[in-house]
Amino acid sequence: MIRSTLPLAALVLLLTGCEGISGADASGNIQTPAAPVPTPTPTPTATATAAPAPVGLALTGDTSPVHDPAILKDGNTYYLFATGAVADREGLLATRTSTDLTAWTFRGPAYTALPAWATTAVPGTSGIWAPDIVKRGSEYRLYYSVSTFGSNRSAIGLTTNSALSLNSPAAGWTDKGAVIQSTSADTFNAIDPAVFTDAEGREWMAFGSFFAGIKLIRLDPATGLRLASEPTIHSLATRPAPGAVEAPFVVRHGDYYYLFASFDSCCQGANSTYNTVVGRSRTVTGPYLDKAGRSMLDGGGSAVLASAQGTGARYVGRGHVAILQDTAGDHIVYHAYDTQRNGAPTLQIQRLTWDADGWPVPQ
């Protein structure tokens, strides 16, 4: 259980993380945010806010509202999936496509209704949040989160498909049920999945939001579900209470595994202090260390994307990243809040290079 000296109301707000989408109501429905109400947030660490705000690609088309983007390149097409709710225009697991990473077209929802198992596991849920998309062999695996505002009664589900359809994005998906669940009896929060394969071909999923931080479990490469023979839950990153760390993403580059995570508060529109940090490890299970050698288990993390609060930047609260690795060059994909559009969550994409010491640098 979380222990904190904060008032209960403040703690509930802080524990929501990306569970409370910008402009979301208590059921998770995305709305164009009204003037945001400032809420108590942890003070950003010096390392987490030191990086300059990157410029990014000049995106066009349907790029907002986009929250918690997941991206996959398949052939010559980029597919983007994002958080959504039943009542939203975008629907559940909103799907967008592009052929050049800059011009985006909304295609519709990947799901038209919540899976029956999800509403039983998480009563009151009305949205599907924070997806991740991977392709393994000829199978597309779309992972997703279900939860409710301020709770760790949550679950990560999996749906699979043999093809991605431009005109009918909801066609062909077969829901496989829960990969992992959490309840109030657990110290972790089963949302924000990030799936990757290690150098030995083993399949893993990082996940977590607030509570006891970022966790890691083994998956069965054949099914994409949790590997029954390996029940260990590894800890990758934590911060002091109220534990403002979430939205992991792990990639392998060179001799290291890189753990990206988001610090501080998302989902407060133009007041969001969300920012992105990174650590790295030669082994999948860590420890992940930042540039100063501080473990992410001790609150460490080197700045990748600053929140941009106080700089006059149009887009602030940069976080919940996905890393697109491509032979043509890597990119960092994330959402930020548009201060000129009442804090609307908006897709952002930067080129990503790696410096001489092997650390990621957005361009």
C-alpha 195/C-alpha 247 separation (Å) is: 12
Contact 285, 259 (CB under 8 A): no
CA 318 to chain CA centroid, nearest Å:
11
> What b-and-e string marks burial along 19-29, b requiring 16 or more CB atoms within 10 Å of the CB?
bbbbbbeeebb
DSSP assignment of 76-87: TEEEEEE-EETT
For the sheet containing 302-305, what is the strand order? Answer: 245-253, 256-263, 275-281, 302-305
Neighbours of 50 (CB within 10 A): 12
The residues carrying an active-site annotation are: 68, 246
Alpha-carbon distance 184 to 207, whole Å? 17
Q: 96, 83 in Cβ contact below 8 A?
A: no
**Which tokens in the block code for residue 34?**
């009204």
Q: Are 129 and 320 in contact (CB under 8 A)?
A: no
3-class secondary structure, 17: helix
Cα 46 to Cα 239: distance, rounded to the nearest angstrom: 14
Name the pairing type of β-strands 174-182 and 315-324: unpaired
Contacts of 334 (CB under 8 A, 6+ apart): 69, 276, 305, 318, 319, 320, 321, 322, 348, 349
For residue 150, CA distances in Å to 12, 20, 36, 184, 317 come to: 6, 8, 18, 11, 20
Provide the 10 A C-beta neighbour count for residue 329: 12
